[in-house]
Structures are given as C-alpha cells and as structure tokens.
C-alpha cells in the first residue's frame, strides 16, 4: 500500500468535483429532513361569540403523524365545548428514516472516496478493482437518489 500524499488535482477533475457536490448534497439531504419541524392548524369559528379559536398539531422528523395530536388552547375549552385529543393520520417514519440514513451513508462514502482521490491518487488510478467498485457504488447511489425523488413526488 502506498503512503498518503496530498494531491488536490483530482478535485479539479469531474471525478473529484462531482464527489464534492455529492457530499454537499448529502449534508443538505439529511439536515433538511432530519431537522424538519412543522405544524398544521384548524381555525374554529365559534357561533356564540365573535372570536375564533386556533387548534394546532405540531409534528416533525421522523413524521409519526399518528403521535401528533391537535392541542386545544389553554383550558381545553373551545367555543364552550371540551376538546378531545384528535391525532393526525399516517406514519411516514420508515420513509423518512430511510432517506436520512441513506444520506448519512452517502456522506460517509463521499468522505472516504475524497480521501482516496486526494490522498491515494496513484493507488486509485493503478487499481482496476477500486475504480470499478467506486463506479458501481456511484451507480447504486444514483439509482436510489433518483428513485427517492420519484417516490417523494
């Protein structure tokens, strides 16, 4: 095995430059999905008075919507009616967790590939197995990313 020699030239080539772009895209993928928080609201119009009440259900990653319930304002009384807990419908946690896990694996793979490109350029260029393995992994990653985008809409 050859020793580590820093060579930034592969980053100027499409091989390294695209891997840097993949690395940045993977950071955005797991950061945006893993850190997402949202809410949905119901506006209730009271027939007895001029004021409206807002009931909110907050949710976030991993999108187990069946665990997020609409929370009534303080006191639990909405327009003179005691509010029961109503939950949202759906559990999208498996898709979201797969997406984040896959993005983390792509992130780690890109770091390893960039380390190989920049530090062990000669070893990478001389080995057919390394180049073919890198190519196959990149094709598999591309297939999954395109599949995720089509499945998410």
Average pLDDT, the chain: 88
Q: Residue 153 — very low, low, confident or very high, per pLDDT cuts 50/70/90?
A: low
CB neighbour burial string for 110-127, b if at least 16 within 10 angstroms, e if fewer: beebbebbbbbbeebeee
- What are the pLDDT digits (tens) for 43-73? 888 887 777 888 888 999 999 999 888 887 7
Sketch the domain layout of the chain as residue ranges. 9-33+93-148, 36-82
Task: Indicate if the alpha-carbon torsion angle 115, 120, 125, 129 is positive or negative.
Answer: negative
- What are the pLDDT digits (tens) for 10-36? 999 999 999 999 999 999 988 998 889
What mean pLDDT is predicted for residues 87-115? Answer: 92
107/111 Cα distance (integer angstroms): 6
CA-to-CA dists, residue 152 to 12, 61, 81, angstroms: 33, 15, 39
Q: Residue 1 — very low, low, confident or very high, per pLDDT cuts 50/70/90?
A: low
């Amino acid at each position: 095995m050859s020793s580590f020699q820093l060579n930034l030239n592969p980053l100027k080539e499409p091989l390294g430059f695209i891997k840097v772009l993949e690395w940045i895209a993977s950071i955005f993928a797991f950061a945006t999905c893993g850190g997402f928080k949202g809410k949905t609201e119901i506006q209730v119009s009271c027939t007895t008075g001029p004021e409206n009440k807002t009931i909110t259900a907050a949710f976030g990653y991993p999108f187990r919507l069946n665990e997020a319930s609409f929370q009534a304002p303080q006191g639990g009384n909405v327009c003179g009616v005691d509010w029961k807990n109503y939950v949202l419908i759906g559990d999208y946690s498996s898709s979201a967790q797969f997406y984040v896990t896959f993005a983390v694996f792509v992130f780690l793979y890109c770091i390893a590939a960039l380390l190989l490109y920049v530090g062990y350029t000669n070893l990478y260029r001389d080995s057919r197995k390394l180049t073919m393995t890198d190519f196959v992994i990149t094709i598999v990653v591309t297939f999954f990313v395109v599949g995720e985008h089509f499945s998410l809409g």
